[in-house]
Amino acid sequence: MSSRDAILQALRQNRPPASPLPEPPAFPAPDVDLAAHFRRVIHEIGGEAVDVDADAVAATLARAYPGLTHVASTVPGYGNGPGPLQAVRDPHDLAGLELLVCRGRLGVAENGAVWLPESELIHRAAPFLTQHLAVLLEKERIVWNMHEAYARLRIEEEGFGVLVSGPSKTADIEQALVLGAHGPRSLMVLLLA
């Protein structure tokens, strides 16, 4: 018998008594300004979130990241647009990336997470290799909690998607918080009206 069949048979033999699957809990949003809450949480977790007019994005980015030369964008109209990234074949070539600008599909107010599916990244490795990450997010895409987030997302739609909440961090040395463990040292979310 294959290991697969042996395992499944053992699981069937040792099945606990049936127990119903509970209805998914719904915990509706309290009466708060979602964008304001989202902004506050991002700050608490070591990121930055700013309100930006659509036509001021480029200027905001230029002010926030002066002097960076290795900048990539997956958003048409910002930086050089997605063209250069699309031309990259091997993600190893992105090792020197200093800033990635991309769009977020959804924000979660309770924990400051943004959903970045593969199609917004072009390369899955890009938001992890880059030294800094800037995400454009329309305010209306912010939901209250994770239940609402998963009600909206179809996680299997794309091969990869990641919820990012804050810059990469670690507290593995005496629980001292250090930003920039392996991934981006900073995260900025630009909130668009």
For other proteins, the binding residues in 47-106 under the rule CB under 8 A are 91-92, 95
- The least CB distance from residue 105 to other proteins, in Å, is 12
- Sheet containing 132-138: which strands, arranged edge to edge? 48-52, 186-192, 132-138, 99-103, 71-73
Question: Which of 70, 124, 134, 137 forms a contact with other proteins (CB under 8 A)?
Answer: 124
Contacts with other proteins in 23-42 (CB under 8 A)? 24-25, 27, 41
Q: Quick check: helix, strand or coil at residue 156?
A: coil
Among residues 81 and 183, whose Cβ is nearest to other proteins? 183
**43 secondary structure, DSSP code:** H
- Phi and psi of 151, rounded to 5°? -70, -30
Interacting stretch for other proteins, rule CB under 8 A, among 31-39, 54-62, 76-84, 172-180? 172-180
Looking at residue 16, its amino acid is: P
Report whether 99 contacts 68 (CB < 8 A). yes
Cβ burial of 64 (10 Å; 0-12, 13-18, 19+) is: middle
CB 100 within 8 A of CB 114: no
Q: How far is the CB of 129 from other proteins (least distance, A)?
A: 7
Closer by beta carbon to other proteins, 2 or else 69: 2
* Segment interacting with other proteins, rule: CB under 8 A, options 53-61, 64-72, 76-84, 141-149: 141-149
User: Which position among 57, 97, 134, 163 is part of the footprint of other proteins (CB under 8 A)?
Assistant: 163
CB of 124 to other proteins, least distance (A): 4
